[in-house]
């Protein structure tokens, strides 16, 4: 019987080999490319969706969304919204209930989309939406982030190295394009994997505990996937993590004790 981990810690995720997307990518920066992409996407029954925003390092300032990633079974499309805007036909695609759209934390994405086209005469009314953060708990997975969900299902790590790069740059680098495309593709892969290989009664959910993480590390070492040095480094990281948790618990306990002491003085 198949198994699914309920949760996974970051140190274990970092031991996995990096997942790679080497499929086709269409970079949409012109009206001509946009029109071709929309016609192709309108024929698809299922799409993966994600978005990127130029990071802001100024407190209280949020940039507008500048990239919409849409993945089909055949390829990934990167719509550079900072160059082509948010045309009505793209809004129609998001509102087409016959085409399922799967993604993670889509509510936040759609809020950003509405900000992007707030001066448009057409409002975004998304339909056919499948939210992974609502779907995965029905399979027993307690994680909310794309990287950890992907690691649980595929035992590979999604790279986050490009997350804080400039998504409004005049030209996106190949690394940026692969990163952005993979986030949308990964949503599709997760959805399809769950539906195809984890039907009710065909798998068992493994509850989280720290001993389980140690066993995963040893299994990877025994399979020749990691070195003895990596095993020791992982143990150190887990001990440091647990020490920080213990410190927080102790500080909280001290806070509660002081608060109770203050209350007892007030009541006298």
Give the DSSP letter of residue 103. Answer: E
> Are the C-beta atoms of 95 and 53 separated by less than 8 Å?
no
In the block, residue with structure tokens 């019987």 = 1
pLDDT band at 182 (very low <50, low <70, confident <90, very high): very high
Q: How confident is the model at residue 135 (pLDDT cuts 50, 70, 90)?
A: very high
CATH class name, domain 19-202: alpha beta
According to the model, what pLDDT value does residue 116 have?
64
Alpha helices (H) in the chain, listed in sequence order:
10-13, 31-41, 81-84, 88-94, 106-116, 132-135, 146-154, 174-197, 210-222, 228-266
Whole-number pLDDT of residue 108: 81
Residue 268 has pLDDT above 60, yes or no: no
Cα first-last separation, the chain: 63
Per-residue confidence (pLDDT) for residue 155, from 0 to 100: 93
Nearest CA-CA partner of 126 in 148, 106, 144: 106
For 220-266, what is each residue's pLDDT tens digit? Answer: 888 888 888 888 888 888 888 888 888 888 888 888 887 887 677 76
pLDDT of residue 80: 94
What are the pLDDT digits (tens) for 32-70?
A: 999 999 999 999 999 999 999 888 767 767 778 889 999
**pLDDT class for 26, splitting at 50, 70, 90?**
very high
Residue 214 has a pLDDT of 83
Rounded to the nearest 5°, which phi and psi values hold at 80? Answer: -85, 90
Measured CA to CA, the distance from residue 191 to residue 102 in angstroms comes to: 7
The two three-digit tokens of residue 5, written as one number: 């981990």
Please check the confidence at residue 131 and state whether its pLDDT lies above 80: yes
């Amino acid at each position: 019987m198949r198994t699914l981990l309920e949760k996974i810690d970051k140190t274990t995720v970092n031991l996995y080999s990096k997942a790679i997307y080497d499929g086709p990518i269409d970079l949409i920066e012109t009206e001509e490319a946009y029109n071709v992409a929309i016609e192709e996407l309108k024929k698809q029954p299922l799409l993966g969706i994600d978005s990127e925003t130029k990071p802001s390092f100024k407190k209280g300032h949020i940039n507008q969304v500048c990239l919409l990633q849409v993945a089909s079974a055949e390829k990934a499309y990167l719509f550079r919204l900072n160059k082509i805007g948010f045309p009505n036909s793209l809004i129609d695609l998001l509102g087409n209930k016959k085409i399922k759209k799967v993604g993670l934390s889509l509510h936040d994405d759609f809020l950003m989309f509405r900000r992007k086209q707030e001066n448009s005469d057409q409002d975004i009314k998304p339909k056919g939406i499948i939210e992974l953060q609502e779907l995965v708990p029905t399979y027993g997975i307690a994680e909310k982030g794309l990287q950890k969900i992907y690691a649980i299902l595929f035992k590979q790590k999604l790279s986050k190295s490009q997350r804080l790069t400039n998504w409004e740059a005049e030209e996106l680098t190949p690394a940026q394009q692969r990163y952005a495309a993979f986030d949308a593709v990964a949503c599709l892969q997760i959805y399809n994997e769950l539906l195809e290989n984890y039907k009710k009664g065909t798998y068992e959910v493994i509850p989280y505990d720290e001993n389980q993480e140690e066993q995963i590390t040893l299994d990877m070492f025994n399979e020749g996937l990691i070195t003895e040095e990596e095993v020791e480094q992982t143990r150190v990281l887990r001990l440091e993590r647990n020490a920080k948790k213990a410190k927080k618990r102790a500080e909280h306990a001290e806070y509660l004790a002081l608060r109770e002491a203050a209350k007892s003085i007030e009541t006298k």
